[in-house]
């Protein structure tokens, strides 16, 4: 289905509480499903990806009850499988579009004597799974896969701990190995080349599991076997979803937007640093902490005269999901913005590196790209066009943000992909553009 966006003639004004954090929601549901006892979760993101995790843990034997939905998200009561372990489901588990569901489940299932097939949609079937299977095989799990892609059959149990040096900074790899380590004999550690998001390290202690983190924070370890105990978790708002509204406000003259209740985990806030380097006026104010995560508001006041910047490879893990948005903002700067070390974008929900270059090019931007880099010239001008989200939620939102400053309408094919992480994105954006103030 295509959706047409017209350029805005007014600033973005107002306050939006964006939905619950996708990464923390997946972990809260999964850890609660693994735990002994009943956990109460609030603020859980109600999106296609998180629904995939809820369906998966239900098929594996956890009991999930919907205990209410509010503006901040879903309330869930989860009775975990605990010491009994997951049961073997009758059919393959469909992880939909969700890489986090699939990869974290590979780690969970590796620890139990079950044989489970994991599958997903066409996008997920294209994404690499060897990066997860390889360390888990070293720990004793078995994977029957076709060329390292889905569908994959996991046969687990009898694991021993391992010290794994991951070639990629990936929280999905790190978490899968640590979750398998909870069921392995001895210590399991993961060392990353750069720090990826650390939500698992922050949330596992709430479920009674100690996670050791080295001084440089690049190595995380657990000592197994250890079991999880149910707890209550409140999920804060998603900084990656907030980024799209923050970026939009940074681009549209006169805008003033407040985004409260956002997880302010530094491993996720690279986009704030980059927008500030571009000259945007962002105020980040911590108001407290929820479930081990710092939480607060992000306020953006439009400021003219944005400039291009270089995003270094070292920064990329902290803004990996925000590159499509930052590339759009880069058009509204003076100078060139260069993204280095962004090869990982090629194996996201789409080949995002190619898709950003192609889509921005269609909008009239001047873009150059290589294997793992991207450059966007700050020409300040975009025209209308028809763009494809390729079923990728972050591209759909990036193109909608681009439409705010385009000279003509932007039609986005498969805009409904936003349901993966931010189902009411269009409504929230429209509320800000139609508002006359707070
Ligand atoms: C996620 C980790 C990141 C991110 C994804 C969610 C997670 O992927 O891109 O949207 O919740 O652990 P990688 O770990 O593969 O970088």
pLDDT in tens, 121-134: 999 999 999 999 99
Q: Are residues 409 and 280 in the same domain?
A: yes
Number of domains in the chain: 2
- For helices 393-403 and 425-434, angle between their N-to-C axes, nearest 10 degrees: 20
* Nearest Cα residue to 263 out of 51, 421, 43, 97: 43
Q: Is the CB of 23 under 6 A from ligand 1?
A: yes
pLDDT digits (tens, 9 = 90+) for 50-99: 999 999 999 999 999 998 887 789 999 999 999 999 999 999 999 999 99
Cβ of 172 closer than 6 Å to ligand 1, yes or no, is yes
Tokens describing residue 58:
């239900």
Q: Last residue of some domain: 199, 223, 247?
A: 223
Which of 223, 254, 270 finishes a domain?
A: 223
Q: Does 416 map to a domain?
A: yes
**Domain for residue 114, yes or no?**
yes
Expressed as residue numbers, the domain containing 390 is 2-18+236-434
Nearest atom within ligand 1 for CA of residue 348:
9
Domain boundary among 173, 189, 223: 223
Please identify which of the residues 21, 46, 198, 321 carries the catalytic annotation: 321
Taking the centre of ligand 1 as the mean of its atom positions, its distance from the CA of residue 317, in whole angstroms, is: 9
25 in ligand 1 pocket by Cβ < 6 Å? no
Do 336 and 409 share a domain, yes or no? Answer: yes
Domain assignment present for residue 229? The answer is: no
Does the active-site annotation cover 371? no
| Residue 410 and residue 396 share a domain | yes
Q: Which candidate, 7, 55, 47, 5, places its Cα nearest to that of 23?
A: 47
CA distance 186 to 40: 31
191-235: pLDDT as tens digits: 999 999 999 999 999 999 999 999 999 999 999 999 999 999 999
Measured distance CA(247)–CA(330) in Å, rounded: 10
Q: Which of 99, 346, 353, 395 to mutate to test the pocket of ligand 1 (most atoms within 8 A of CB)?
A: 99
Asked if 86 and 205 sit in the same domain, the reply is: yes
Cα 100 to ligand 1 centre (Å):
7
Tens digit of pLDDT at every position of the chain (438 positions): 899 999 888 999 999 999 999 999 999 999 999 999 999 999 999 999 999 999 999 999 999 999 888 778 999 999 999 999 999 999 999 999 999 999 999 999 999 999 999 999 999 999 999 999 999 999 999 999 768 999 999 999 999 999 999 999 999 999 999 999 999 999 999 999 999 999 999 999 999 999 999 999 999 999 999 999 999 999 999 999 999 999 999 999 999 999 999 999 999 999 999 999 999 999 999 999 987 899 999 999 999 999 999 999 999 999 999 999 999 999 999 999 999 999 999 999 999 999 999 999 999 999 999 999 999 999 998 999 999 999 999 999 999 999 999 999 999 999 999 999 999 999 999 999 986 554
Q: Is residue 97 part of a domain?
A: yes
On whether residue 295 sits in a domain, the answer given is yes
Q: Is the CB of 323 under 6 A from ligand 1?
A: no
Give the whole-angstrom CA distance, residue 106 versus residue 109.
5
Token readout for 300 is: 């953006």
Q: Is residue 415 a part of any domain in this protein? A: yes
In a domain, 96, yes or no: yes
Cα–Cα dist 160/180, whole Å: 9
Pocket test for ligand 1, best of 196, 346, 421 (most atoms within 8 A of CB): 196
Name which residue sits closest to atom 9 of ligand 1, judged by CA. Answer: 321
171 and 96 together in one domain: yes
Statement to judge: residues 13 and 26 lie in one domain: no
My answer on whether 88 and 137 are in the same domain is yes
Whether residue 211 sits in one domain with residue 274: no
Q: 110 and 10: one domain?
A: no
What CATH number has the domain bearing residue 173? 3.65.10.10
Decide if 277 is inside a domain: yes
Q: Are residues 14 and 32 in the same domain?
A: no
Same domain, residue pair 14 and 58: no
Residues 154 and 266 in one domain: no
| Single pTM value for the model | 0.98
């Amino acid at each position: 289905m295509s959706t047409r966006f017209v350029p805005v003639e007014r600033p973005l004004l107002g306050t939006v509480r964006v939905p619950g954090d996708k990464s923390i929601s997946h972990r809260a549901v999964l850890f609660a499903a693994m735990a002994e006892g009943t956990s109460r979760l609030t603020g859980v993101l109600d999106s296609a990806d998180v629904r995939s995790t809820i369906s998966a843990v239900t098929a594996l034997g956890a009991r999930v009850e919907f205990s209410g939905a509010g503006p901040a998200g879903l309330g869930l009561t989860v009775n975990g499988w605990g010491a009994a372990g997951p049961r073997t489901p009758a059919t393959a588990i469909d992880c939909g579009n969700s890489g986090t569901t699939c990869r974290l489940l590979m780690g969970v299932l590796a620890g139990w004597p079950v044989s489970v097939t994991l599958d997903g949609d066409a996008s997920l079937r294209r994404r690499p799974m060897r990066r997860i299977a390889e360390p888990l095989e070293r720990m004793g799990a078995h994977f029957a896969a076709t060329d390292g892609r889905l569908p994959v059959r996991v046969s687990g149990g009898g694991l021993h701990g391992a010290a794994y040096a991951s070639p990629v900074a990936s929280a999905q790899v790190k978490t899968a190995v640590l979750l398998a380590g909870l069921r392995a004999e001895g210590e399991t550690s993961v060392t990353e080349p750069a720090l990826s998001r650390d939500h698992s390290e922050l949330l596992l202690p709430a479920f009674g599991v100690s996670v050791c983190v080295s001084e440089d924070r690049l190595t995380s370890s657990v000592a197994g076997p250890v079991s999880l105990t149910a707890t209550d978790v409140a999920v804060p708002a998603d900084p990656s979803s907030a980024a799209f509204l923050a970026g939009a406000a940074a681009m549209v003259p006169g805008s003033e937007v407040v985004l409260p209740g956002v997880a302010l985990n530094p491993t996720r806030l690279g986009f704030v640093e980059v927008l500030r380097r571009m000259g945007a006026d962002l105020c980040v104010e911590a108001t407290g902490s929820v479930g081990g995560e710092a939480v607060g508001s992000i306020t953006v006041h439009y400021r003219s005269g944005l400039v291009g910047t270089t995003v270094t490879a070292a920064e990329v893990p902290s803004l990996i999901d925000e590159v499509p948005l930052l590339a759009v903002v880069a058009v509204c700067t003076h100078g060139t913005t260069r993204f280095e070390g962004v090869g990982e974008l090629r194996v996201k929900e789409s080949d995002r590196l190619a898709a950003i270059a192609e889509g921005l090019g269609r909008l009239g931007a001047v873009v150059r790209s290589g294997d793992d880099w991207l450059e966007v010239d700050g020409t300040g001008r975009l025209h209308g066009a028809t763009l494809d989200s390729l079923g990728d939620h972050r591209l759909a939102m990036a193109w909608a943000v681009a439409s705010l400053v385009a000279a003509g309408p932007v039609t986005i094919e498969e805009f409904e992909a936003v349901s993966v992480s931010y189902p009411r994105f269009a409504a929230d954006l429209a509320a800000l553009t139609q508002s006359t103030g707070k």
